[in-house]
């Protein structure tokens, strides 16, 4: 896999993907503005066809309808009207949670729609002529011409030319990027604007199926499919609902046998309180919010299944260049031969690098300045200096100035240059060079010819610099139980040195596309889920095979089609954040499910003793809250059942705070915080509401 850092246009900075993502993430989660915008949609979702998608909330909706119809027969029944009103509020609050989550995605979709403009495409004919056609009239395989100022009419690959492209409408980044034919940065997206030059694009998608179209559908939630875990949880909730429905259906029989009477409205309220309404109401919002958290970080997931799979990943494949390391070799130290000082070597190395515009050359200048206090010469170029440019043939560069000739380059080339001038190379130079190579670095030999003759001064140690914080992040992944594998085309010696410094668990050196695919299959055969990043056509097979394949937006169309996610910022390290988001989604769903089920247990002990204590005096011992009356008990439980949904909406949207801990510790935290909290909260909440309800005329 090639380096995935986006190419920069002139005067443009490389993207990091952090700025816009943070700006979007900083918006409020549950503000009055969001509520006002989502309220109409919440009422529209009261349609029974919409409610039927959630079995639990459909039962609540049916109960609200039934209680309303029954209360219509007795217009003076204040208790019945109050129960009916709070049942409708329960349904409305559940719809509101989903509507707020969807609303945040629709705001992003509106921005994307503004980027999707109706364009006129310049389609290239077989005879070389151009014809103007609507962008909607393009078909897969058509060639279109785009010049400075043109909007790209559809998704495709550059097959001719190179141009600077503004992708801010999609990524939020103002810095333009380079798109060119014949490489891994050939993909262009419909709706982006060409800033300079001329390119020919081969269309790869049908109208209405472009990248922006798919993004709009996904961020709105229209294309969100339920994940396997979500489907399984829905089945569990439906099963519990059926069990409690049957249990409530038998209660009138027991009540009649005991000489008591249970009103149908009371039975409906009791059923709603006992079924898992809390998690049933919040489950859609949790899933939508998980997708939204990815969008906030400029990541497009093909489906919710991909987000969930990210939370279960156990093996992570990361490219070395641009992901673990900065992507450019940097000068790390100056190692002089005996008889030469470090300052003398640094001065010569810096002088020979002043006109070197490569990242390696600039790093030599910076290192000499920072470590030895050597400043760049005024103007950057000493007077009378004659620069020797680097060529593939000589494999070295340098400068002739002030009666000195300085050369810097590959060890073999510099040694040959010294010997051609009658100089000798000390054995220490060979030893230092071999030591740098053995450590996985690249040695640059520095030599000078002056009044003392030609001689070697020492070695500049170039190395792939591991990004700041990477060892700590890999340690976090290890605590999460995730095995990290560095994939690189470097030789095993260099790869092993970088792997040890970065702290990855394993390394695949001299990797070919076939090697990556084979590694993924071996991991999956062992029952592990695998995630990887890629950007090139040669990465497409491995991206398709991986459980979570994150394609870079700068990559080819083949890579983006093969992956399950696309990173609009083309930041390979974001894969670590994606896994954290996936785990946060699973943790949030598990935590709120635990809280909801614990709630139901507590509500059972709050309501049943109050209802039957008069008939079965022994149950009064379980009425530990000493609720005022059966009517007050049931109404207090219904009110609490509705309010707890509203209270948990911000948590379902924001997500439970994720910490990289083991599964055992995570389970203990869930049981302690959300399990115990779910048991205690209803007792306290229902008692407080009971004190208020009991004072109301006609109810208490």
| Active-site residue, 319 included | yes
Per-residue pLDDT tens digits for 95-105: 888 887 776 65
Three-state SS annotation for 632-657: HHHHHHHHHHHHHHHHHHHHHHHCCC
CB 573 within 8 A of CB 323: yes
- CB burial class (10 A; 0-12, 13-18, 19+) of residue 197? middle
pLDDT classification of 356: cutoffs 50, 70, 90: confident
Instruction: Identify the pLDDT of residue 60.
Output: 93
C-beta neighbour count of 489 within 10 angstroms: 17
Tokens 């149950």 correspond to 619
Instruction: Identify the pLDDT of residue 699.
Output: 60
Token pair recorded at residue 325:
């390391």
Percent of the chain with pLDDT over 70: 83
Instruction: Identify the pLDDT of residue 1.
Output: 37
pLDDT classification of 445: cutoffs 50, 70, 90: very high
pLDDT classification of 21: cutoffs 50, 70, 90: very low
Q: Using the predicted structure, report yes or no on whether residue 86 has a pLDDT greater than 90.
A: yes
Given 3-state DSSP classes, what are the helix, strand and coil percentages for the chain, each rounded to the nearest 5? 50, 15, 30
Q: Comparing C-alpha atoms, which of 309, 251, 131 is closest to residue 604?
A: 251
Q: What order do you get walking across the sheet with 506-508 strand by strand?
A: 299-301, 565-567, 548-552, 530-534, 315-319, 483-487, 506-508
Q: Using the predicted structure, report yes or no on whether residue 108 has a pLDDT greater than 90.
A: no
Fold agreement (313-323+466-567, 331-375+384-462):
no
pLDDT classification of 456: cutoffs 50, 70, 90: very high
* Residue 456 CA: distances (Å) to CA of 84, 91, 209, 419: 92, 81, 62, 10
Q: Distance (Å, rounded) from C-alpha 424 to C-alpha 447?
A: 11
Percent of the chain with pLDDT over 90: 12
Q: Distance (Å, rounded) from C-alpha 340 to C-alpha 363?
A: 21
73 three-class SS: coil
CB 610 within 8 A of CB 640: no
Q: Distance (Å, rounded) from C-alpha 177 to C-alpha 164?
A: 6
Q: What residue numbers does the annotated binding site for ATP cover?
A: 356, 360, 390-397, 408
| 119-152+154-203: CATH, from 2.70.150.10, 1.25.40.10, 1.10.150.240, 1.10.1200.30 | 2.70.150.10
Long-range contacts for 561-567 (Cβ within 8 Å, ≥24 apart)? 562/534, 563/302, 563/534, 564/301, 564/302, 564/303, 564/305, 564/306, 564/309, 565/294, 565/299, 565/300, 565/301, 565/302, 565/306, 566/211, 566/299, 566/300, 567/17, 567/298, 567/299, 567/533
Q: Distance (Å, rounded) from C-alpha 445 to C-alpha 404?
A: 16
Q: Of 238 and 106, which is predicted with more confidence?
A: 238
Instruction: Kindly give the interhelix angle for 304-311 and 574-612, rounded to the nearest 10 degrees.
Output: 90
Q: Distance (Å, rounded) from C-alpha 150 to C-alpha 172?
A: 19
Token pair recorded at residue 639:
């009110």
Q: Distance (Å, rounded) from C-alpha 443 to C-alpha 129?
A: 54
13 three-class SS: coil
Q: Comparing C-alpha atoms, which of 146, 204, 165, 169 is closest to residue 559?
A: 204
Instruction: Identify the pLDDT of residue 173.
Output: 58
Highest mean pLDDT among 99-103, 141-145, 461-465: 141-145
Highest mean pLDDT among 46-55, 203-212, 229-238: 46-55
Q: Distance (Å, rounded) from C-alpha 655 to C-alpha 664?
A: 20
Q: Using the predicted structure, report yes or no on whether residue 515 has a pLDDT greater than 50.
A: yes
CB 106 within 8 A of CB 294: no
CB 570 within 8 A of CB 651: no
Q: Comparing C-alpha atoms, which of 274, 290, 260, 314 is closest to residue 612?
A: 260
Q: Which stretches does DSSP call E strand in 337-422?
A: 386-388, 396-401, 404-409
Token pair recorded at residue 73:
């027969």
DSSP 8-state secondary structure symbol assigned to residue 494: H
Q: What residue numbers does the annotated binding site for Mg(2+) cover?
A: 535, 539
Q: Dihedral (C-alpha) 295, 298, 299, 301: value to the nearest 10 degrees?
A: 40
Instruction: Identify the pLDDT of residue 526.
Output: 87
Continuous segment of H or E residues that includes residue 665:
helix 663-669
- Cα within 13 Å of Cα(663), Cβ side: 6
Q: Distance (Å, rounded) from C-alpha 584 to C-alpha 590?
A: 10
Q: Dihedral (C-alpha) 161, 165, 171, 172: value to the nearest 10 degrees?
A: 170
Token pair recorded at residue 246:
């049957």
Q: Where are the domains of the chain?
A: 30-103+217-291+579-636+651-685, 119-152+154-203, 313-323+466-567, 331-375+384-462
CB 97 within 8 A of CB 281: yes
Token pair recorded at residue 271:
């059923």
Mean pLDDT of 22-42: 62
Q: Of 178 and 518, which is predicted with more confidence?
A: 518
Average pLDDT of every residue of the chain: 80
CATH number, domain 313-323+466-567: 3.40.50.1000
Q: Distance (Å, rounded) from C-alpha 473 to C-alpha 478?
A: 9
The CATH class for the domain spanning 331-375+384-462 reads alpha beta
Give the contacts of 202 (CB within 8 A, at least 6 positions apart): 141, 142, 143, 156, 157, 159
Q: Which of 292, 319, 569, 631 is catalytic?
A: 319
Per-residue pLDDT tens digits for 155-199: 888 988 888 888 776 665 556 778 888 766 788 888 788 988 889
| CA diameter of the chain | 119
Instruction: Identify the pLDDT of residue 469.
Output: 79
535 three-class SS: coil
Per-residue pLDDT tens digits for 576-624: 888 888 888 888 888 999 998 888 888 877 777 777 766 677 666 776 7
Q: How far apart are the first and last CA of the chain?
A: 71
Instruction: Identify the pLDDT of residue 385.
Output: 82
Q: Of 171 and 553, which is predicted with more confidence?
A: 553
Q: Using the predicted structure, report yes or no on whether residue 700 has a pLDDT greater than 50.
A: yes
Q: Dihedral (C-alpha) 445, 449, 450, 453: value to the nearest 10 degrees?
A: 110
Token pair recorded at residue 234:
């829905």
């Amino acid at each position: 896999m090639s380096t995935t850092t986006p190419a920069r246009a002139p005067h443009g900075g490389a993207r990091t993907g952090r700025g816009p993502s943070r700006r979007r993430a900083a918006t409020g989660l549950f503000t009055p503005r969001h509520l006002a915008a989502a309220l109409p949609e919440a009422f529209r979702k009261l349609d029974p066809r919409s409610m039927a998608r959630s079995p639990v909330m459909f039962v609540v909706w049916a109960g609200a309808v039934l209680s309303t119809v029954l209360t219509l027969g007795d217009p003076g029944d204040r208790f019945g009207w109050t129960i009916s009103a709070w049942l409708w509020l329960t349904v409305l609050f559940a719809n509101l949670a989903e509507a707020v989550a969807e609303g945040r995605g629709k705001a992003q979709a509106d921005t994307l729609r503004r980027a999707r403009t109706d364009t006129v495409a310049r389609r290239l004919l077989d005879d070389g002529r151009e014809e103007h056609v609507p962008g909607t009239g393009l078909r897969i395989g058509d060639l279109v011409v785009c010049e400075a100022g043109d909007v790209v009419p559809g998704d495709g690959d550059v097959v001719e030319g190179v141009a600077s492209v503004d992708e801010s409408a999609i990524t939020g980044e103002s810095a333009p990027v380079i798109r060119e034919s014949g490489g891994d940065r050939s993909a262009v997206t419909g709706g982006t604007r060409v800033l300079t030059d001329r390119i020919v694009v081969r269309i790869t998608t049908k109208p209405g199926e472009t990248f922006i179209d798919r993004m709009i559908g996904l961020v709105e939630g229209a294309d969100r499919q339920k994940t396997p875990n979500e489907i399984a949880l829905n089945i569990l909730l439906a099963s519990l609902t059926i069990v409690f429905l049957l249990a409530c259906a038998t209660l009138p029989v027991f009540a009649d046998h005991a000489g008591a009477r249970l009103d149908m409205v009371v039975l409906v309220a009791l059923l709603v309180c006992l079924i898992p309404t809390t998690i049933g109401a919040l489950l859609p919002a949790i899933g939508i919010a998980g997708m939204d958290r990815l969008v906030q970080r400029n990541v497009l997931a093909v489906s919710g299944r991909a987000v969930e799979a990210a939370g279960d990943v156990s093996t992570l494949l990361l490219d070395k260049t641009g992901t673990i390391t900065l992507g450019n070799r940097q000068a790390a130290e100056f190692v002089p031969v005996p008889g030469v000082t470090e300052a003398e070597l640094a001065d010569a190395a810096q002088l020979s690098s002043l006109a070197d515009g490569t990242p390696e050359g600039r790093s030599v200048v910076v290192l000499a300045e920072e470590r030895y206090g050597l400043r760049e010469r005024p103007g950057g170029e000493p007077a009378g200096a004659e620069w020797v440019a680097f060529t593939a043939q000589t494999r070295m560069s340098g400068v002739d100035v002030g009666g000195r000739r300085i050369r810097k380059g590959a060890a073999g080339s510099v040694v040959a240059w010294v010997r051609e001038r009658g100089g000798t190379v000390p054995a220490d130079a060979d030893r230092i060079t071999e030591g740098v190579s053995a450590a996985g670095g690249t040695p640059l030999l520095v030599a000078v010819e002056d009044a003392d003759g030609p001689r070697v001064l020492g070695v500049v140690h170039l190395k792939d610099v591991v990004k700041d914080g990477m060892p700590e992040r890999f340690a976090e992944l290890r605590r999460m139980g995730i095995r990290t594998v560095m994939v690189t085309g470097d030789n095993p010696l260099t790869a092993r040195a970088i792997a040890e410094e970065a702290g990855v668990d394993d390394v695949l050196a001299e990797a070919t596309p076939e090697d990556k695919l084979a590694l993924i299959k071996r991991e999956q055969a062992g029952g592990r889920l695998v995630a990887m990043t890629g950007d090139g056509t040669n990465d497409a097979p491995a991206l398709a095979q991986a459980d979570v394949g994150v394609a870079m937006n700068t990559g080819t169309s083949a890579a983006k089609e093969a992956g399950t996610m696309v990173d609009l910022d083309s930041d390979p390290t974001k894969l670590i954040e994606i896994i954290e988001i996936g785990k946060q989604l699973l943790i949030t769903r598990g935590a709120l499910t635990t809280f909801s089920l614990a709630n139901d247990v507590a509500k059972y002990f709050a309501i049943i003793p109050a209802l039957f204590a008069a008939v079965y005096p022994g149950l009064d011992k379980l009425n530990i809250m000493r609720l005022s009356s059966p009517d007050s008990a049931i109404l207090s439980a219904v009110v609490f059942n509705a309010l707890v949904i509203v209270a948990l909406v911000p948590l379902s949207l924001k997500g439970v705070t994720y910490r990289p801990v083991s599964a055992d510790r995570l389970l203990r935290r869930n049981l302690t915080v959300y399990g115990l909290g779910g048991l205690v909260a209803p007792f306290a909440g229902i008692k407080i509401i009971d004190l208020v309800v009991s004072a109301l005329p006609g109810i208490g």
